Structure 1
Amino acid sequence: MSGSPWVLVSRRVVTDGGVREAAVVVKDGRVEALLSPKDVPQGFEVTNVGEQVVMPGVVDCHAHINEPGRTEWEGFETATRAAAAGGISTVVDMPLNSIPATTTLEALRTKAATAEGRCAIDYGFWGGVIPGNAGELEGMVDAGVTGFKCFLIHSGVDEFPHVTREDLDKAMPILARRGVPLIVHAELTEHERPPQGDTRTYQSYLASRPRRWEDDAIRMMVELCRKHRTRVHIVHLSSSDALPDIAAAKREGLPFTVETCPHYLTFDAEHIPDGATHLKCAPPIREAENREKLWDALARGTIDMVVSDHSPCTPGLKHLDRGDFAAAWGGIASLQFSLPAVWTGMRARGHGLEALVRWMCRNPSRLTGLEGLKGSLTPGVDADLVVFDPEASFTPEPSAVLHRHPLTPYAGLKLQGVVERTYVRGVPVYTRGEPAQRPTGRWVRRPGAARSVT
């Protein structure tokens, strides 16, 4: 379908100027034009989806695909196939929990070679900042990493150690000069503490990672952002108590952005049952009042985007048989269900399709340096398209989960919004429950990156 020009027509196309009836003309894998349907040239192949929504493909810039090294947790084939089913057309892989972690140019070469030819959708890579690797950063920028991730607290895996303020004082000037963002797992404490008491209760886990860990870390990152003028992005914000500091940084004009995740917008601590370790993540899911403040911050623009933080593991590592929050791996599998989960919450709070595209497509593409290539339906961008039925609902069943393992907290939860089709550069990669059989995804890099890492 991508070889010759073709047209996708809908009464509801989400454009930069609003939702309107339009014909999206696709040529050579790009959006050629947005026309009135009556102006479509004769002879073009036309697919008319009626009232179903046509929107840009979701850009998910926070996923742990874990390959190579922990492919039994997930992998490029399974993760990107699930992403395509969820309306995601571009995914950016985190530098952990693969082995080796993507903290050197050589490790990036290994990661890129592993992914090549195996991805259903387009993909990118974050590099990692760890103690002592400042000399590796420029080489990874030249090779095309999206930016760099760091932890301010133990990451959960020993091959990706956390950084100190002194480490960041060495790395951040390099990133500022090269114009790439530092994305930060923002929890900060001198003394980590395991859950106490009955570790089957969610409250024991919630108490072990208080809001102030996030709040203190974010204050430190605001100071470092001001000092170095490095673009700083806070990943998976959970604590609403940090919102005033974030809003102040934005008012000051600092290059400071923030994401949150579907699970923080969907679930709440009061309703997580004892032993439900499939809902353990870090930072933790907090109370319902906290969740509503996150929604309000999205509406105000204090939080910029919503991304999955897909972080799966083998079912055994969740210790569901014991229900022990102290022992379980922290991470939620969500790539396939992020879009409908977020849309379900949006509809309940009166938010519309333009906000959906802003939070899940346009703003993530801007963070990753892909604005003008991904995340909108502007002429000239890649024809990454999703046909989405916002009025339809479904209940995910484990048998329909395309992640490597079917364990996800969204199974059995009624969700609003069904992805009917996903296209990447004009090529259908998912159609009505069926992923494409042949992987066609490519590594998309920041403009100006070298084209080879060999």
Structure 2
Amino acid sequence: MSGHDLVIRSSRVVLPGGERPAAVAVDGGRITAIGARLEGATEIDLGGAALLPGLVDTHVHINEPGRTEWEGFGTATRAAAAGGVTTLIDMPLNSLPPTTAPGALAAKRAAARGRVHVDVGFWGGAVPGNVPASLRPLHDDGVFGFKCFTSDSGVPEFPPLPYAGMRAAFGAIAAFGGLVIVHAEDPAALSEPGDGGYPAFLASRPPDAERRAVEQVVRLVEETGVRAHILHLSAASCLEPIGKARARGLPVTAETCPHYLTLAAEDVPGPGSTAYKCCPPIRGTANRDELWRGLENGVISCVVTDHSPCTPELKRGDFATAWGGVSSLQLGLSAVWTAASARGHGLNAVVRWMAEGPAALAGLGGRKGRIEVGADADLIAFDADRAFVVDPSGLRHRHPVTPYEGRSLRGVVQTAWLRGQVVDLDGPPRGELLRRPGP
């Protein structure tokens, strides 16, 4: 028998080159061999369940410390593992303090240390007052990049950058080879949502608000040379300027989210259905179809959750007043697989969008998001054919509020391994805190 610590077999291993039967060997927490016949001290045969790389979610709001009643590291990372996410990167808001200075980053790490069930990294923030002074120190301290808003963030401690501030931030970040990630909505195109119903809310955040902000980002990328990533793209009209920028060789990428790919404005039941509220909003069916085409042609490279929870009290009321955020960290893979498979896509495409793409964005592509020799043995067993109805009582994030309640989805995560060890959701946390790789 070989010296492999662990061998996992499946008739459906999703590798970078495609899906095929294989055995994956793990030693010391890394993948050390992939082949047809491998032996190990521990052997697991998944049969017809698929073996996927653990997902990488680069857009998660955990909110600890400071607003831990909204979400915490323990609950969020349990939900992540239950949904097949083995690496996530935490957004610099809505925690208190926001991650806009080295001291705040240290507070984040202290709150997370010893409490995470998956690997966790951190984004920094670019806001008025910390540009450019705090950006390089945060970069040197290992944040994966810098988030900024072009419009109101929803919390006063993380204000938007005006155009001059964006130019200064982009230039400073470009100077040290960093990455900027942008919530792109032009405030001049936004309006008050009126009567509190979903049609009024949707009209208050039109597609043109996103497109104008995206075009502004593209201009600044061309001017400064910074790498820029457009967050949670919901307006399909933005695909054209992003695609043209990429065709010209500009370093601009974009993501979208499961709720934009699987839900539609026509699905929103009524004025009190605020679990559907997010910013930018869930748009119509035709727009959703265009987003899928953007994924298929590579203009959109990532699908991540934008898990943005709050207390149930903040979700009550109407669309004019409720908090804007969808909690889907545990359900993202199943939701996307349900819709993707119905459109003729295979698991390899879902892995490309939800594991390989986000890992590459974060600079973790050599270590995370792929089943290949040398990568971390972050793996999930996924029963792609099993259907279930979403029951909020089975959700692991802190507050079980979800627009997917009662929906039938396909695909269940059976087991998650983090560096070759089974993630025990009720056992001791084994996740690590990650720093941006490289200089």
Kept in 2: contact 1:428–1:436 (CA 8 A): no
TM-score by length of 2: 0.97
Kept in 2: contact 1:257–1:304 (CA 8 A): yes
Tell me the equivalent position of 2:6. Answer: 6
Tell me the equivalent position of 2:71. Answer: 74
Kept in 2: contact 1:398–1:407 (CA 8 A): yes
Partner SS for 1:222:
helix
1:189 lines up with 2:183 in the alignment: no
Kindly provide the CA deviation profile for residues 198-252 of structure 1, in whole angstroms up to 9, marking residues without a partner as x: 31x2101001111110000000001111111111000000101111111101100
Tell me the equivalent position of 2:29. Answer: 29
Q: Partners in 1 of 2:189 and 2:52 — Cα distance?
A: 46
1:382 lines up with 2:376 in the alignment: yes
Relative distance call for 1:331 and 1:220 in structure 2 (3 A) is: same
1:295 lines up with 2:289 in the alignment: no
Kept in 2: contact 1:89–1:384 (CA 8 A): yes
Tell me the equivalent position of 2:410. Answer: 416
1:318 lines up with 2:308 in the alignment: no
Tell me the equivalent position of 1:44. Answer: 41
Trace 1:262-301 onto structure 2 (pairs within 5 A).
262-274=258-270, 275-301=272-298
Kept in 2: contact 1:120–1:436 (CA 8 A): no
Relative distance call for 1:191 and 1:357 in structure 2 (3 A) is: closer
- Aligned with residue 204 of structure 2, among 193, 208, 212: 208
Tell me the equivalent position of 1:116. Answer: 113
- Aligned with residue 107 of structure 1, among 92, 104, 108: 104
TM-superposed CA distance for 1:191, in Å, is: 6.5
Tell me the equivalent position of 1:366. Answer: 360
Kept in 2: contact 1:250–1:256 (CA 8 A): yes
Kindly provide the CA deviation profile for residues 140-181 of structure 1, in whole angstroms up to 9, marking residues without a partner as x: 111110101000001000000100121122121222232221
* Alignment-mate amino acid for residue 147 of structure 2: K
Kept in 1: contact 2:152–2:187 (CA 8 A): no
Which stretches in structure 1 are left out of the alignment for 5+ residues? 450-454
Tell me the equivalent position of 1:448. Answer: 438
Partner SS for 1:79:
helix
- Aligned with residue 138 of structure 2, among 140, 148, 164: 140
* Alignment-mate amino acid for residue 18 of structure 2: G
Kept in 2: contact 1:132–1:167 (CA 8 A): no
Kindly provide the CA deviation profile for residues 118-158 of structure 1, in whole angstroms up to 9, marking residues without a partner as x: 00000100000001211111111111101010000010000
Kindly provide the CA deviation profile for residues 75-127 of structure 1, in whole angstroms up to 9, marking residues without a partner as x: 00000000000000001000000000000011001111110000000010000
1:177 lines up with 2:212 in the alignment: no
Partner SS for 1:258:
strand
Q: Partners in 2 of 1:330 and 1:183 — Cα distance?
A: 19
TM-superposed CA distance for 1:436, in Å, is: 4.1
Q: Partners in 2 of 1:53 and 1:364 — Cα distance?
A: 20
Q: Partners in 2 of 1:393 and 1:176 — Cα distance?
A: 46
Relative distance call for 1:191 and 1:262 in structure 2 (3 A) is: closer
Trace 1:148-163 onto structure 2 (pairs within 5 A).
148-163=146-161
Partner SS for 2:396:
coil
Tell me the equivalent position of 1:398. Answer: 392
Kept in 2: contact 1:127–1:148 (CA 8 A): yes
TM-superposed CA distance for 1:4, in Å, is: 6.5
Tell me the equivalent position of 1:256. Answer: 252
1:96 lines up with 2:90 in the alignment: no
* Alignment-mate amino acid for residue 84 of structure 1: A
* Alignment-mate amino acid for residue 70 of structure 1: R
Which deviates more from structure 2 when the two are superposed, residues 263-272 or residues 117-126? 263-272
- Aligned with residue 225 of structure 2, among 229, 232, 240: 229
Tell me the equivalent position of 2:241. Answer: 245
Alignment root-mean-square deviation, CA: 1.2
- Aligned with residue 306 of structure 2, among 298, 304, 309: 309
Kept in 1: contact 2:189–2:206 (CA 8 A): no
TM-superposed CA distance for 1:367, in Å, is: 0.5
Tell me the equivalent position of 2:427. Answer: 437
Q: Partners in 2 of 1:204 and 1:164 — Cα distance?
A: 27
Q: Partners in 1 of 2:161 and 2:275 — Cα distance?
A: 28
Kindly provide the CA deviation profile for residues 394-451 of structure 1, in whole angstroms up to 9, marking residues without a partner as x: 1121210111011111121101111001111111115xxxx241101111222236xx
Number of aligned residue pairs: give it. 435
Partner SS for 2:34:
strand
Q: Identity, % of aligned pairs?
A: 51
TM-score by length of 1: 0.94
Which stretches in structure 2 are left out of the alignment for 5+ residues? none
Kept in 2: contact 1:101–1:160 (CA 8 A): yes
* Alignment-mate amino acid for residue 45 of structure 1: T
